[in-house]
Amino acid sequence: MVSIAEPVAKSASRYRFILDQRGVLGSVMVAPAILYVLLLVGLPFLLAVYYSVSAYTIYDPTWRFVGLSNFRQIVNNSVFQETLANTFLFTFGSQFLGLVLGKFGALLLMRPFPGRKIVRALIILPWAVPIALATVAWEWMFDSLYSVINWTLISLGIITRSEAPNWLGNPHLAMLCVIVVNAWRFFPFAVVIFLAGMTSIPQDVIDAATVDGAGFWRRNYQIVLPMILPIVAVGLIFGIVFTFTDLSIVFLLTNGGPVGATSVLGFEGFQVGIVSGDVSHGAAISLFMLPVLFFVVIGMLRFIRRREI
């Protein structure tokens, strides 16, 4: 008779016992991410909130509490009011343009054509190119002396030198320019979002609509668009948040000019808080974005929940 040795049970360490618990291990794994968010997002945010209600400047780094007086002062300033209006125009103008271009780009890229894969890859370029580099190129295109756009229009005989638009010198055109550059930057993201949404629609639905007599526009606006709206809304949330808080394009292209026509909250906050050293007012200007973004994001998330299929 063969006797089988009994396995000797190892004594389980307390350490092993704790980590073998699913809940504990999960918490341990997630902890670094939470810690990261708390330290690098939460703490600076709380610091910014406190700066905005204090008298803190680089000249006099005091933490004296001043209540909402910083907010009162900036709200009563006509330059701030203009800046706030510019920020909305810049954000929603560039998002709208980016979405329209993204939709058409996605429609074109859905159709098979030779080199489609290369075009799909190339279309990501505006998103991948560093913004400082891209803005230098745009600055050259809009330059008052060497504008490539004006040079082309003049060469083609469409306009004369005296009729050439002063892209960055005219307040309305300058705003249009920063909107166009931001839309150009956002457009690849919009294309990807639309492509992802459109490819996820079952072909049966489109075929059924076609059989029922729905034409191109009807299919697009009554079938495709409502079905992909939740995913487009998520993309739009990202676009709005990033654009509303952005200062790079304005800083690099117009420096807020001409006559403050393109100044946006991010740029104004940077100029006042960092360049001029008035940290408390700079923080107050920057925090003004928070309630706006909060309501926009909540509104859009509620909309997405209702539209979920």
Residues near other proteins, by CB under 8 A: 16, 19-20, 25, 55, 57-62, 73, 77-79, 142, 144-146, 166-170, 174, 254-260, 270-272, 274-278, 281
Partners of 54 in beta bridges: 65
Partners of 65 in beta bridges: 54
Shortest Cβ distance from residue 123 to other proteins (Å)?
Answer: 30
Shortest Cβ distance from residue 153 to other proteins (Å)?
Answer: 16
Shortest Cβ distance from residue 276 to other proteins (Å)?
Answer: 4
d(CA 193, CA 195): 5
Are 123 and 191 spatial neighbours (Cβ–Cβ below 8 Å)?
Answer: yes
Shortest Cβ distance from residue 259 to other proteins (Å)?
Answer: 5
Shortest Cβ distance from residue 129 to other proteins (Å)?
Answer: 19
- Which residues, other chains included, contact 234 with Cβ-Cβ below 8 Å and sequence gap of 6+? 193, 304
Q: Residue 236: CA atoms inside 13 Å, Cβ hemisphere, count? A: 23
**Residue 173 vs 214, nearer CB to other proteins:** 173
**Residue 224 vs 250, nearer CB to other proteins:** 250
Residue 45 amino acid letter? F
**Residue 126 vs 258, nearer CB to other proteins:** 258
**Residue 29 vs 121, nearer CB to other proteins:** 29
**Residue 64 vs 307, nearer CB to other proteins:** 64
Are 289 and 88 spatial neighbours (Cβ–Cβ below 8 Å)?
Answer: no
The DSSP code for 129 is: S
Shortest Cβ distance from residue 47 to other proteins (Å)?
Answer: 10
Cα distance from N-terminal residue to C-terminal residue, the chain: 67
E-only strand ranges, the chain: none
**Residue 174 vs 228, nearer CB to other proteins:** 174
d(CA 236, CA 254): 25
d(CA 46, CA 51): 9
Residue 229 amino acid letter? L
Shortest Cβ distance from residue 264 to other proteins (Å)?
Answer: 13
d(CA 256, CA 76): 20
Q: Which two structure tokens, joined as six digits, stand for 270?
A: 């940077």
Residue 250 amino acid letter? V
**Residue 3 vs 76, nearer CB to other proteins:** 76
**Residue 77 vs 210, nearer CB to other proteins:** 77
Shortest Cβ distance from residue 78 to other proteins (Å)?
Answer: 7
